[in-house]
Structure formats: C-alpha cells, structure tokens
Amino acid sequence: MAALTASIPPAVAQDRASHRDDLAADLRALADRRGDVDAFMILSRPSILRRLARMIAETLPVGIDRLVGSHGQDDALVSAVALHTGIPFAVVDTASGAVHGELHVSEKVAIVRTRRAAGEGTLEQRLEELGAHVVTSVSVLAAESTASAGDRALFGAADIAGPVVPGRAA
C-alpha cells in the first residue's frame, strides 16, 4: 500500500516589507491630519501592539538582561516586547525616579519607548545613576530632533505623515 505524501505547505506569513508597510499604514490611519500620533491610540490596539513588539524584538541584540521603559506611556509597549522576547522588564517613573519592577546594578538594558520627547534624556540619566548599562534604545517613532547616536526608530516622520493610505497592495 503506497503512502500518500504531503506537499510542502505554502508560506502564509507576510514578507518583511509588506508587514512593515501595512503597519505604517495603520499608524498613519491613527495619526491626525498633521501626522501626529497619540501613543495610547496605537498601543491600545493589540493588532498594532503585537506587530510593534515583534519588530522591536528583532532589533534587540543578544545579551539584554532587562527591558526598560518610561512608566505611563510606554507600559504597554515594554510589556508587549517582554511577552514577545521573554526578557524581564522594569518601568521608571521619570518624574520621581522610582523604579517599578526589578532593576539591578550592571544589568545590560534596552530602552523601549514609543517616541523620545525632544531633548529628553531623563531615563538614560536615571539608569546611569542606578548603575545599569544601556546597550540600545529603540523607539517606535522617530523624535522630531535630538536623537542620540544609539537611538533607533522603527518609523520616521515620512512614514507617518502624508496620505493616510496603505503603501502597498494587500
């Protein structure tokens, strides 16, 4: 009795470029007419949060001990990246300096945030005071200006501004 063999399954996952273009389109859809995006508007949608977490995870170097975000705006984002990667996280209240969660001296940390505010350096300063070593910093959206050399943004202003339409065929 001859065995009936299975053929190779098709690839269902999107290619990287389509994935990024679709996500940029969804971010544009939630921007206002000037291209400004409210962090909570995008992070409160699991379909967007999941994709952002995956993209951020792909940028993180090996050896990260902990993810760190700013308490409040970035709670959801850093949680999602932690779920995706399995890396523990802490959030820092940049106003009071309080740390929520564990953060230890000499840990290698990655800062994860929605968007670095212009001129913001408080989180990095606080982490330095705590003796943590910031290995990388990843933002969803590029800051208007003053990004540090180590900063990396998933989407630039050109991705979000302009027509609120998908950039690629579905």
Contact positions toward other proteins, by CB under 8 A?
A: 1, 3-7, 9-10, 12-14, 18-19, 22-23, 25-26, 28-33, 41, 45-48, 50-51, 54, 163-166, 169-170
Q: What is the CA radius of gyration of the chain?
A: 18
Q: From residue 124, give the alpha-carbon distance in Å to each of 9, 44, 64, 109, 132.
A: 46, 26, 16, 10, 9
Nearer to other proteins, 42 or 78 (CB): 42
Minimum CB distance to other proteins, residue 83 (Å): 12
Angle 36-39-45 (CA atoms, 0-180°, nearest 5)?
115
Minimum CB distance to other proteins, residue 60 (Å): 18
Whether residue 94 contacts residue 70, with contact meaning beta carbons closer than 8 Å, is answered with yes
Minimum CB distance to other proteins, residue 56 (Å): 14
45 by Cβ neighbours in 10 Å (0-12 / 13-18 / 19+) ranks as middle
Nearer to other proteins, 51 or 126 (CB): 51
Minimum CB distance to other proteins, residue 2 (Å): 9
Nearer to other proteins, 17 or 95 (CB): 17
Please count the other Cβ atoms lying within 10 Å of the Cβ belonging to residue 104.
12
Nearer to other proteins, 61 or 163 (CB): 163
